[in-house]
Structure formats: C-alpha cells, structure tokens
Structure 1
Amino acid sequence: MLVVVGGFALFDRAQPYLHGSGCEVRTAQGTMPLDLEQAANASTIAAVAFRKQLPERAAVIAYATAIQESHIRNLPGGDRDSVGMFQQRPSQGWGTPDKLRDPVLATSKFFDALVRIKDYLDRDLHDAAQLVQRSADGTAYAQHEQDGKLLATAFTGREPASARCWFPPDKRTASRRPEAIREMRRAFGSRLKVGGPSPLTKGAKSDPDSWNAVKASSTREGWAVASWAVTHAQVYGLTEIRYAGKHWKSDAGHDGWTEDKDAPKDSVIVQ
C-alpha cells in the first residue's frame, strides 16, 4: 500500500514533465492546441485590439490572417522580404524588419491598415484580409475563419478561463514580473492601470516593481489580461495568475484554471 501511495506521489510530481510544454484554447466552439509561442502571439493580437478599442470581428480577421501567413509564429523571414507574424514586407512600406518582427508593432500595423478599409466589418473575411495583405491567393484566408473565431472568443475574454498553458519546471525562468507588466501595458496600452501590493501579497514592498494587481475595466478585459499573463508566464517566470474566482499555477498549468474564492473580480493578480 505504501508503495502504491509513494508511486502515485512520484507520478503526480512528474506530471509537468510528462505533459511537456504547450497551451490549449477550449471554448464552446471547440478546442485548439497551440505551442507557447503561438499562444503568446495570439494573446498579443487580442491585447492590441483592446488598445485600439476594436470589435471582436477585427480580431477574428487578424487571427485568420496570422494563421494563414505564419501559423501565428513570429517568423524571421519568408517569401522575398516578408517577415513576422503577418509576413509584412518592408519593401511594400510596412516598416523596418526589426519592427515587423515585434508582434505588438506588427499587429498594430495590421489593424491600422484594416480599419482604413471601408466597411471592413461587413465584408467577407477573406476579402477584408486580402485588401490588407494583397497576397497571391486572397481566398486562402477564408479557410481559417472558424479557428479565428475560436481564438477571438478565448483571447478577447468573451468566454472566461478558456486558455491554459503548461511547461515543466526545468523550463521555468527567473521571475521578471516588472518586465512582464511593462510589456503587457505596451500591448494593451497605458490606460491599463497597475497597483499593489495586493491583499494576496501582504508584506510585499511598496515600490512599483512589487505591484502585481492589474486593474480590469471590464470582465472581458480582465480575462484578456489574465490570458496574456498565462501565455507569457514561461518567458517572464510568472508562477500564479488570479482573477474572478479562478487561479492558474505554473506548476499545475495543465490543470488549467481552478476555483479560488479569494481571487478578486476587479484586478488580475500577477505573481
């Protein structure tokens, strides 16, 4: 009996290694597996959409485009001089290669071009995307519309707690929470307010680098912020995210969001 219990305990501690690294989006529309890079880029697209106060349909178009162009990866190159998640070309006036390899800036440029298209919200997705991208085969974007809707549902916060990520302990990095929050505010915009220390971190220092409570102006924005934090947790060494009665922990990331009655409804706690 003791052997069985001990064996179970050992197996339980080994779970993160057995699961490897990855992310998953699960909504009423379906499930989509993503790797850590894809998930981080997907949450960034939603963040920039929030900063620009764009409707969910704009995010759907961006997701379908990014899936077709790069599988939502920040590619160093591509066809001719195309680079980045949207495979934008410096020679076509999109910007410098360095800026186009920055997911925040590349997404911002995509949305800036999209909103200049008259009635883009009423157009077929592939038509709107093609008017932005001007690719060889504009109809290819249409095949990714349903996946784009699924990602938008999750990362814009319409369905809460629908994105989870996991990675083994040996893939953790040293905590860089202040950098994570600065990058989060760069993506979502400076109107995203941060305070702290929160009641969940009593005794923390009062300097800004100890602040960990990201104020949510709406439930949807709160879940978009929480999803961004989870998808960037491995890069920035984040270990716990709490929001609206839910809790994600890096050492149990594969379990997703669990109940936490102390998690506040007005702030996303990033630890």
Structure 2
Amino acid sequence: MRLSHRGRLVLNSVLALATVGVALVVVLGWKSATRPFQPAACQATAAGSTFQVSPEQMANAATIAGIAVKRHLPARAATIALATARQESKFINVDYGDRDSLGLFQQRPSQGWGTPAQVRDPVHATNAFYDALVKVHGYQSMEITKVAQKVQRSAYPEAYADHEPEGRVLASALTGHSTAALTCRLGDGFRPGGATGLKRYEQALPHEQAPVRVSRIAGVTGVRLAVTDPTLAWSLAQWSVGSAERFGVTRVYVDGRVWDHRRPDDGWRASPEGGRGVVVLFTDADLPRP
C-alpha cells in the first residue's frame, strides 16, 4: 500500500516516539538497577530552619563551635564565629585569600594573627578569633555586622549578617542546645577509622571540646565519654557526628539514641544500647553485650 505524504509523516512520528520510548525504558531500567545518587552532606536543624553543608565543612564548623564550648563561651560567640567563617571561607580551610589572608577566618599573618601555618590550623585560628571577640565590649548584644567587623576589619562587614541564621542553627546544634539536630550522610568512599581514627579523635578531643573523662571500650574500637550534663553530652555527640568523616566515626550513642553512618536517613533513632554518657565507635562491629 502506498502512503500519502501526510501518512508518511504520521508513520515517521510514531516510529520516532517508539524509539524514544525504548531509550527511556533502557535508561530507567539501568537506573533502577543501580544505587540512586546520594551526595554526601551534613545538615543541622533548629527553630524550624535547616542548613546543609558538606562533611568537610561541617567538621570545621564543629571545631569552631566545640572550642566555644571548651572556653565556656555563650552560644552567641559560636554563632558569630560560625557566621564569620561561613562568609570568609565557606568553612573550607583554604590556603589562599586576599593579599596574605589564609584559613577558615581569612586571617592575615601580617596583621598579627600568627604565622601562615598557624592561621591555617583551625584550632589556632579559632582561638585567635575568640581571643579578639571577647575583647569587644558588649559583643553578646551587638549586631553581628558590628562585632564581626571589630574583630575582622573586613571591607564588606554587612555580608556577615547574611549568614547569621545559618550560624545560629549550627551553633545551637553543635553546642548541644538543640538535641538530635545534626546528622550526616557520608560519601561512598567513607571507611571506618579503626584504631588510627580513634587515636586521632582522642588527640583532638581535648583541644576542641570541654574536658571529659575518656575510656576505651573493651572488645570494640571505640570510647565512652563520661558526661552527665545533657547539654554537654549532646554537644560532644553532635561534634562527633559532624567530625565523622574526619575521624572515621561510624556510630554515636547518647541519651537513648544512636546515629549510624549505615542508616543516615534515620537520623537519631531510638536505641537501647550505649548506656550512660556518650559512646563513639570507629568500626561497624557490634557493641559488646553488658
């Protein structure tokens, strides 16, 4: 049968649609057989607001907030520091900046913040920021644009205010004032830290958190942090989760809950394990039964 010009156009359209349909079936079938794309990310939620950053960024934010806890500074100090670091470096410990600016806070060695190596050390840089902050009279009630400018001497002080809401949420979670507020999804390349990660965690803890008695757990690669104050307990727990990629933390138990890197969508689920204080593991092995 010979088709008319109009008939040939219709037939060609049908064949084209059929080809697209087959291609879609092939693509969708391939996608269903593979793991859905899930980017690594950490998020904090408080007062109805949620902010998300990468695990690397959250680890640096955890250091900044943890040092505020160690120094017995108010959560407002952590908010200011976090908002400042977010504006200056996006929580990335960069090795470049304007003129000789470096690190999380873009501090300039030529202005007395320390040597280049020191200002790229997150612990030194954070303590240097707080040293300057506490000298600002009334900083707790002052607008963040004014107090951050007094500390940083920035050319664009109004930019700090843009990040105050994010700083407030992160500070609330990482100082323990908001419970079960911070969780992380780690990337496919994540591996438990094991004995090496545990050792690095123990070395960092006294520099980045309030003093706490640490004891290793027999039969598993992990530690128990002896703490009874609930706010401090959640600060330690969420600092540990925020630092999970950095140290290879696999699970954190606190207050009858657990964060497990293998079940990131569960957040902080109820758990009868863990016992008192905060338990931090660096292996996927089970906790020994009491």
Report the Cα offset of residue 20 of structure 1.
2.8
Deviation at 1:253, TM superposition (A): 2.3
CA distance in 2, matches of 1:173, 1:20: 18
- What is the TM-score normalised by the length of structure 1? 0.85
Task: Indicate yes or no: 2:212 matched with 1:192.
Answer: yes
Shift of 1:14: 4.2
Q: CA RMSD in A?
A: 2.1
CA distance in 1, matches of 2:109, 2:187: 38
Q: What is the CA distance between 1:211 and its match in structure 2?
A: 5.9
Give the structure 1 partner of residue 136 of structure 2: 117
Tell me what 2:271 maps to.
260
Of 35, 38, 47, 2:57 maps to: 38
- Work out the CA distance in 1 between the residues paired with 2:87 and 2:216: 41
Distance 2:261 2:117 in 1: 31
Aligned partner of 2:166 in structure 1 is 147
Q: CA separation of 1:12/1:221 partners in 2, compared to 1, >3 Å: closer, same or farther? A: farther
> Secondary structure of the equivalent of 1:86?
coil
**Number of equivalenced pairs:** 249
User: TM-score of the superposition, structure 2-length normalised?
Assistant: 0.80
One-letter identity of the residue aligned with 1:119? G
CA distance in 1, matches of 2:126, 2:137: 19
Q: Which residue of structure 1 aligns with residue 44 of structure 2?
A: 25
- CA 1:166/1:13 → structure 2, altered by over 3 Å: closer, same or farther? farther
Match of 2:249 in 1: 238
- Counterpart among 222, 225, 229 of residue 218 in structure 1: 229
**Judging changes above 3 Å, is the alpha-carbon distance between structure 1 residues 142 and 262 closer, same or farther for their aligned structure 2 residues?**
same
| Inter-CA distance 139–245: structure 2 relative to 1 (3 Å threshold) | same
Counterpart pick for 2:203 among 182, 200, 203: 182
Instruction: Give the deviation of 1:55 after TM superposition.
Output: 0.5
Per-residue displacement from partner, 1:98-119 (whole Å, max 9, x unpaired)? 1111111111110010001112
Instruction: Give deviations 1:147-175, integer Å, cap 9, x for gaps.
Output: 21111111111111111111244332542
| SS class of match (1:122) | coil
Q: Percent identity?
A: 38
Structure 1 residue runs without a partner (length 5+): 1-10, 205-209
Residue type of the partner of 1:155?
A: L
Shift of 1:25: 1.0
1:245–1:260 contact (8 Å) kept in structure 2: yes
Cα deviation per residue 1:54-80 (whole Å; 9 max; x = unaligned)?
001111111111111111211111111
Does 51-60 or 180-189 show the bigger shift? 180-189
Deviation of the 1:134 alpha carbon? 0.4
Aligned residue in 2 for 1:207:
none
Alpha-carbon distance, 1:232 to partner = 1.7
Q: Is the 8 A contact 2:65 2:82 kept in 1?
A: no
Q: Residue 175 of structure 2 aligns with which residue? A: 156
Q: Deviations over 1:167-205 (max 9, x none)?
A: 24433254211211221222115x2221242xxxx545x
> Cα distance 1:47–1:172, how it changes in 2: closer, same or farther (>3 A)?
same
- Rounded to whole Å, the distance in 1 between the matches of 2:262 and 2:180 is 17
> What secondary structure is seen at the aligned counterpart in 2 of 1:126?
helix
Unpaired stretches in structure 2, ≥5 consecutive residues: 1-31, 282-290
Q: 1:28 to 1:167 in 2, by over 3 A?
A: same
Counterpart-to-counterpart distance in 1, 2:246 and 2:67: 19
Q: Distance in 1 between matches of 2:226 and 2:159?
A: 39
Contact kept in structure 1, 2:190 and 2:248, CA below 8 Å: no
CA contact 1:29–1:150 (8 Å) conserved in 2: no
Answer with 1 or 2: which has the greater Rg.
2
Q: CA deviation at 1:217?
A: 4.7
